Amino acid sequence: LGGGEEAVDEEAGPGAGARLWMLWVTTCRLLDDVRTDVREKAGGLGRSLRSLTLRLCDGKQGQKEDARAACRTALSFLVGKGMELSCAEAAGLSMSTILGVVDVADPESLEEGLPELVGKLISSVSGMEPAALNYLQVRSDNDSDGLSYDNLERIRLQISSRSPVSVALDKIMSAVVPLTSVPTRARLIPFLDASLRRAAGTASRAAAADCATALAQSSPESFWGAAETSAVRLLRALYTGAERERGPASRGRLVHALGAVAAACP
pLDDT in tens, 214-242: 999 999 999 998 899 999 999 999 999 99
pLDDT at 145: 55
**pLDDT of 90 higher than 90:** yes
User: 266 Cβ partners below 8 Å, 6+ apart?
Assistant: 223, 224, 228
239 or 69, higher pLDDT: 239
Residue 5 — very low, low, confident or very high, per pLDDT cuts 50/70/90? low
Q: Which amino acid is at 71?
A: C
pLDDT at 59: 79
Q: Is residue 30 a contact partner of residue 19, using CB atoms and an 8 Å limit?
A: no
**pLDDT of 265 higher than 60:** yes
**What element of type H or E holds 186?**
helix 182-198
Distances (CA, A) of 109 to 28, 73, 185, 186, 199: 24, 10, 15, 18, 27
Distance of CA 20 to the CA centre of its chain: 22
CA nearest to 65, candidates 103, 112, 108, 129: 108
pLDDT digits (tens, 9 = 90+) for 10-25: 555 567 788 889 999 9
123 or 17, higher pLDDT: 123
Distance (Å, whole) CA 255 – CA 261? 10
Over the chain, what is the mean pLDDT? 87
